[in-house]
Amino acid sequence: MQSGSDFSGINEAKHRMDHIYDHCDPRLYCSTLEDLNYSIPDSAKLICQALIEQLREVRNRDTVHVVDLGCSYGINAALLRYDLSMEDLYARWDMDHRAEDSCREIIRSDQEFFENMHQDGKLEIIGIDPARNAVNFAEETGLVDTGLAVDLESEPVSEPVEDGLASTDLLMSTGCVGYVTEKSFERLMPAVSREPPAWIANFVLRIFPYQPIQDCLASWGYETEKLEDRTFLQRRMASPDEQEKVIRQLRDRNIDPSGQEADGNLVAEFFLSRPTEEVQQQPLHQLLQP
C-alpha cells in the first residue's frame, strides 16, 4: 500500500490540540473547544440525520449502521442518538462545574444519563480513534456500541474488525481528515464497500485537499459530491498566529479566505461519496431536500 498524503506542513499551521484527545473523560476536550466555539458536530448532526433517514428508506430497515472515524469521546454519537447539541454537551462536561468528580464518577453518571434518555431511531455505532482512553469512554457510556482504538494510518484492519465493519451504511467524520489521509480510507474500503455499500460523509477543513481521498474512493467505484455554496464553522481560530498560517496555506492553493478564515473562522466543507449509480439516481442536493 502506498503512503498517504503528507499533511504535516498543513498541520503545522493548525493549533496543536493533541493534549486534549486522550483522557478518561471529555472534560478537558469540552472546556478547551467550547472556548473556541467548536461546533462542527452540530452541523454534521443535521446533515447526517437526513442521510440516516434516507438510508432507512432506501434500505428499508430500522437500524442504520454508522462508523464514526475519529470518534473521540463519542461526540457525534451523542448528538446523533439524542436530542442534544454541543451546547448541552459543553454544559454536561463542564470542567469547572465537575472539577471534583473522578473519571469513574463521570462515567457512571453518564451511563445512567444516556441510558434513561430517549433515542429517536435505532443506530448501531462503531467509533474508531487511536485515542484509547477516549474510545473507552465512548464505549463504557454506551455512546458507541463498539469502540476500536486503532490508527489506520499505520496499521491494517484485522479480519474480525473487517467483518464487524462490513454492515456499515454510513461512514462519517468530523474534524478528522488531516489526521487521516486516503490511507485510512483505503484500509476501510474492502469492508465498508461490501453490499450494500456504505455512504461516506466527511466534513473537511478547507486547508486540507480532499482530492487524494476522492481519488481513492473513485478507485472503488465511488463518486464524490461536494455540497456547493455551503461552508460550516468548525471553530474559531485559536490565535492570530494560527490565522496567519492558515491563510497562507489557503492562498498557496488559490483559495480565497475572505469572509471565512479572514474573519477568524476555521471552516469546513461537506463531501458525500457514494457508488456512482446511487449518485445518478439521487444527487446530493435532492437527498438533502427537506
Binding region for ligand SAM (CB under 6 A): 21, 40-41, 69-70, 72, 75-76, 128-131, 134, 151-153, 174-176, 179-180, 184
Q: Toward ligand SAM, which CB reaches closer, 138 or 279?
A: 138
Beta strands in 111-184 (DSSP E): 123-128, 146-148, 170-174
Minimum distance from CB of 285 to ligand SAM (Å)?
Answer: 25
Which lies closer to ligand SAM via its Cβ, residue 64 or residue 138? Answer: 138
Contact 260, 230 (CB under 8 A): no
CA distance 11 to 22: 18
Taking the least distance from each CB to ligand SAM, the nearer of 112 and 151 is 151
Question: Distances from the Cα of 51 to the Cαs of 19, 69, 81, 124, 125, in angstroms?
Answer: 33, 17, 14, 15, 15
Q: Is 139 helix (H, G, I), strand (E, B) or coil?
A: helix
Instruction: Choose between 223 and 269: whose C-beta lies nearer to ligand SAM.
Output: 269
- Kindly state the smallest distance separating residue 244's Cβ from ligand SAM, in Å: 21
Nearest distance from C-beta of residue 72 to ligand SAM, angstroms: 3
Give the distance from CA 174 to its chain's centroid.
3
From CA 98, how far away is CA 214, in angstroms rounded?
Answer: 42
CB of 260 to ligand SAM, least distance (A): 18
Task: Judge whether 40 and 232 are in contact, CB under 8 Å.
Answer: yes
Main-chain phi, psi angles of 157, to 5 degrees: -80, 125
Q: Which is nearer to ligand SAM, 29 or 275 (CB)?
A: 29
The dihedral of CA 45, 46, 51, 57: what is its sign?
A: positive
Q: Which is nearer to ligand SAM, 21 or 220 (CB)?
A: 21
